[in-house]
Chains A and B, each alone.
Chain A
């Protein structure tokens, strides 16, 4: 998988990548957050938005205003489709 996130009508949102490998469960909730749908990442001090709480349009708008927006998505959600990019590299044992 490329970890790229798209809207239902195939508009690119962002590539999911966390260099700190943080897990959603470990992010502390904070009463100081402006947006109650977000949790603060202690590693990079950026808010991580729970994508299940917002619409695609809101995410797109937020992403355009803030390209470094971090998201949390639930891959078990019916709203998420996983597709590949055509670059299959089958396992070949040496």
Chain B
């Protein structure tokens, strides 16, 4: 059975447009999680100056490249506002299971044994009358990528 998709508005303009369209915006703060991080190593070709990037400790470019920035971790996401809102349909009922298409909350989707942790993009959730209870099983989503 397909789930209803809940959209996310990430600017004040889009949130207000959602309200005018008949949705009830559930406004939340966008809080970057320190757990979510990506690493990068920057390598530069010794002759051409072109750079190449690696996110994997096993790959550092080979003899023709020198590491100009060693592996360093950073938060890889940029959002337009420090707040966002789920656009909640007014006919939603307590207990309804939905798909939050664009998660506002920073939840670790999967972790890699090299230290990277990726943000969960979407998740199923259940409306409890005031908020969405996100239904996420880390063990299921952790390391297997399907696509």
Contacts and interface: CB of A to CB of B under 8 A. Distances in A.
B58 A81 contact: yes
Contact of A91 (B32, B53, B59, B144): B32
B48 interface: no
B55 A84 contact: yes
Contacts of A23: 137, 140-141, 144, 146
B146 A24 contact: yes
Contact of B51 (A41, A73, A86): A86
A89 B75 CA distance: 9
Contact of A84 (B40, B75, B82, B145): B40
Interface residues of B, number: 37
Interface stretch (A13-21, A28-36, A55-63): A13-21
Contact of A70 (B81, B82, B113, B147): B147
Contact of A71 (B59, B141, B147): B147
B54 interface: yes
A31 to B, nearest CB: 21
Nearest to B113: A76
B122 A21 contact: yes
Interface of A: 1, 3, 14-18, 21-27, 41, 48, 70-76, 81-86, 88-94
Given A70-B146, A74-B145, 7 more contacts: A23-B144, A83-B56, A84-B55, A88-B53, A89-B76, A90-B75, A94-B82
